[in-house]
Amino acid sequence: MRFPIKSATVALAIAASSSTLFAADLLRAPFSPPQNDDVPVELGTGWYIRGDLDFARENAPVLTADLGSTARNLLRNNIAAGGGFGYQFNNWIRTDVTAEFRRQKTTFNGTDVIACPYTIAGVSDANGNPVGIAGLFNNCGSRQTASLQRMVGLVNGYVDLGNWWHIAPYVGAGVGISYTRLNGAVNYYNLSDGSPYDVTTSYPNGFPPIWINSPPVPVGHINWDRTITSRQVALAWALMAGVAYDLTPHAKIDVGYRYLNMGRLNGVASVMGGTSSNSSNTTAQEVRVGLRYVID
């Protein structure tokens, strides 16, 4: 059988072209770069930032025992502001690290009346002969002032209790440190007119330095006012509960209650001697309003 020359030529050309393309594919296949598919990478899943405003009811520390046995801690309103960042592990468990600043001022008048010497008088017998000396006393009171600046840092853990109609209740606890800068003072004043108590006593001339029917009083300048400036670090811990509401898929408003214990403070030593007083633990009952933003 004879094939037309033209048909044979076309067939050979097609075969040669197919062989060339197949060989090229074989040579190129091992060195072909992988396809660059666009796959989204989730960098922020689980992480969130937060900001909080606290409306607190705090107990102001008593810095000295001079204020008397009836001295007590006074409650004071306070506002604190802070923020932090955290991570949501799953629908139930999350944790965050927070820091906040709070400032507190207090003034407290002591309740005890204190006998404060104001002069030393000479004592004579019935015949006018000098026989000794005696201290004369006024009534004084004491006043405490204090300015506290605190930084509180906590590591917190929470259990979210489900989500109903975009509302998620939670409970939590935290532990950390409280750094306090304290400026405090105790001042004495005359109850008769409110003037500062500040006297200088001396022995009266011509009288022997024998105390008659009176406790001895210091001779010289007498001023019981004292101040303290210190920086103190104490253990802090907190318990909290609240609810979060989903404003958007990323933003949540957080409203809750927190009990915060910021530890003890060392105060001013008593004017009568002894060591400095330790106030009871400084605590706060707080209503907190905050915003959490999920970084997704």
pLDDT digits (tens, 9 = 90+) for 196-225: 999 999 999 999 999 998 788 999 999 999
What sign results for the dihedral spanned by CA atoms 69, 75, 80, 84? positive
Using the predicted structure, report yes or no on whether residue 112 has a pLDDT greater than 60: yes
* Beta-strand relationship, 167-190 and 199-201: unpaired
Strands 276-278 and 220-222: unpaired
52 burial class (0-12, 13-18, 19+ CB within 10 angstroms)? buried
Alpha-carbon distance of 267 to 228, in angstroms, equals 8
Instruction: Kindly report, residue by residue over 37-81, the tens digit of the pLDDT.
Output: 554 544 457 899 999 999 999 886 767 766 665 455 566 788 999
Q: Which DSSP symbol is given to 31?
A: G
For residues 143 and 110, the answer to whether their CB atoms sit within 8 Å is yes
The span from the CA of 18 to the CA of 148, in Å, is 88
Domain boundaries, the chain: 42-294
pTM exceeds 0.75 = no
CATH code of the domain occupying 42-294: 2.40.160.20
Which secondary-structure segment (H or E) carries 231?
A: strand 226-246
Please answer whether residues 278 and 290 qualify as being in contact, where contact means their C-beta atoms are separated by less than 8 angstroms: no
Q: For residues 122 and 138, give the distance between their C-alpha atoms in angstroms, rounded to a whole number.
A: 17
